[in-house]
């Protein structure tokens, strides 16, 4: 085995006085038995009970993070850690810290940058609600895998992980809440880090859960969309646009639609829905991608591309709007003269409706987009400066301990 390196166990803590001491003892004894030098770092996140006092009495180092949020607490702990390897877990005893060495060893031996402790395969049903176990976690895991081009992970929401401190700090993680778990995996995959998974099980929680099912779930979805807009918005949007256009062509060829039993299906109506949703997803994805470029130094600024995108969107939007209004005007004239021999009125009316809606959407995007970009560009350098300043403070604090 490679030479032992210092391991820091980071435990974010909010009112966990009944369990934090057991977690510290379990983690410390497991690492000591395996011969790994270790420290336990408890990040107190505004506890109102005796959590900090209990943690100190069990030999942990305690620091405080006043900003609420799981991600803020864990990130502060990683920055303050002294070890080359960091293990993040919870202070409520749900994670089996007797298995901590199984997570640490692959990182210490250079076989992985991040090791995730998978919970579901060995977790009794009583340890997790049906909504979280069967719906929430599998859904978010599928989204994360899609955003990472198929990262081989089955429990993306596990907060029991071991990783190289240097590698994770290089990712520039910023999520303040529970979505931190998804952000770490997506950014790690984008950076080419080696991520593996080991089954560790899950235990009954001591104390109250800090999860908010729906708001935390939405924060995860929003985080995933922001980190992988090309997969989650742009590509699906483009597919819907192609399908919508194809169905409109079919509607023109077969204006009476298709027989479905005793009913007839008119594809022109669903084609309009596909086109509207597709256009909105496409431009939404492009806007999110540009927002990332504006707020992150990992992408170069491309003002020419921005101007072209705005101009093209505005021109296409105006053309579509004029086409839609033109079709509606023609249909209105036919109605006025009483010509009812034309067999494609409904098809053309549906096409005109989607053309006007998509035209207004694209033209509006073309007008607003440059304004948004200017607003994004202005604070981006200030944000980076603030992050650098915080990083300097963190380094000074670490060095002073």
Q: What mean pLDDT comes out for the span 148-169?
A: 93
Q: How far is CA 197 from CA 74, 86, 114, 362, in A?
A: 20, 16, 8, 43
At 54-99, the pLDDT tens digits run 999 999 999 999 999 999 999 999 999 999 999 999 999 999 999 9
Distance of alpha carbon 94 from alpha carbon 100, whole angstroms: 13
Residue 396 pLDDT: 39
Strands 38-44 and 61-64: parallel
Residue 284 neighbours by CB distance under 10 Å: 17
In contact, 2 and 33? CB cutoff 8 Å: no
Q: In which order are the strands placed within the sheet that holds 61-64?
A: 61-64, 38-44, 7-13, 85-88, 161-164, 114-118, 195-199
Arithmetic mean of pLDDT over the chain: 85
Cα 109 to its chain centre, rounded Å, is 30
pLDDT band at residue 340 using 50, 70 and 90 as cut-offs: low
Rg of the Cα trace of the chain? 27
DSSP code string of 273-341: HHHHHHHHHHHHHHHHHHHHHHH-TTS---HHHHHHHHHHHHHHHHHHHHHHHHHHHHHHHHHHHT---
Which residues pair with residue 40 across a beta bridge? 9
Distance of alpha carbon 22 from alpha carbon 220, whole angstroms: 30
Strands 258-260 and 195-199: unpaired
pTM over 0.75: no
Domain residues of the chain, as ranges? Answer: 7-226, 228-390
pLDDT of residue 386 exceeding 60: no
At 342-365, the pLDDT tens digits run 668 888 888 999 999 999 999 999
Fold of 7-226: Spore Coat Polysaccharide Biosynthesis Protein SpsA; Chain A (3.90.550)
Q: What mean pLDDT comes out for the span 299-304?
A: 51
pLDDT band at residue 397 using 50, 70 and 90 as cut-offs: very low
Which residues pair with residue 263 across a beta bridge? 260
Distance of alpha carbon 14 from alpha carbon 48, whole angstroms: 8
Considering only 16-20, 216-220, 298-302, which range has the smallest mean pLDDT? 298-302
């Amino acid at each position: 085995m490679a030479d032992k390196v210092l391991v820091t166990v980071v435990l974010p803590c909010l009112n966990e006085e009944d369990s934090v001491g057991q977690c510290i003892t379990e983690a410390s004894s497991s690492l000591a038995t395996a011969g790994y030098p270790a420290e336990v770092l408890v990040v107190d996140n505004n506890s109102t009970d005796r959590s900090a006092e209990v943690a100190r009495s069990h030999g942990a180092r305690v620091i405080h993070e006043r900003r609420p949020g799981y991600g803020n607490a864990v990130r502060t702990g990683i920055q303050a850690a002294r070890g080359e390897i960091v293990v993040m877990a919870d202070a409520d005893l749900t994670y089996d810290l007797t298995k901590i060495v199984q997570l640490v060893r692959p990182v210490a031996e250079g076989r992985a940058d991040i090791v995730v402790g998978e919970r579901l395969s060995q977790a009794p049903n009583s340890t997790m609600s049906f909504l979280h176990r069967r719906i929430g976690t599998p859904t978010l895991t599928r989204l994360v895998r899609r955003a990472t081009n198929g990262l081989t992970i089955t429990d993306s929401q596990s907060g029991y992980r071991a990783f190289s401190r240097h590698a994770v700090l290089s990712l520039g993680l910023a999520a303040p809440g529970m979505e931190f778990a998804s952000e770490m995996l997506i950014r790690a995959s984008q950076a080419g880090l080696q991520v593996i998974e080991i089954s560790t099980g899950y235990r009954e929680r001591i104390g109250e859960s800090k999860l908010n099912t729906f708001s935390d779930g939405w924060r995860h979805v929003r985080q995933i969309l922001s980190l992988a807009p090309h997969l989650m918005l742009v590509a699906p949007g483009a597919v819907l646009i192609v399908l919508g256009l194809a169905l409109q062509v079919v509607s023109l060829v077969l204006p009476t639609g298709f027989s479905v039993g005793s009913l007839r299906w008119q594809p022109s109506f669903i084609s309009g829905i596909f086109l509207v949703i597709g256009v909105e997803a496409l431009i939404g994805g492009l806007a999110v991608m540009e927002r990332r470029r504006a707020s992150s130094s990992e992408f170069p600024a491309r003002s020419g591309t921005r101007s072209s995108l705005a101009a093209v969107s505005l021109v296409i939007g105006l053309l579509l709007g004029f086409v839609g209004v033109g079709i509606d005007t023609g249909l209105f004239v036919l109605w006025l003269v009483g010509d009812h021999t034309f067999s494609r009125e409904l098809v053309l009316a549906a096409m005109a409706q989607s053309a006007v809606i998509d035209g207004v959407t694209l033209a509006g995007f073309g007008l607003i987009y440059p304004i948004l970009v200017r607003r994004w560009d202005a604070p981006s350098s200030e944000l980076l400066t603030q992050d650098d300043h915080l990083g300097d403070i963190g380094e000074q604090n670490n060095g002073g301990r």
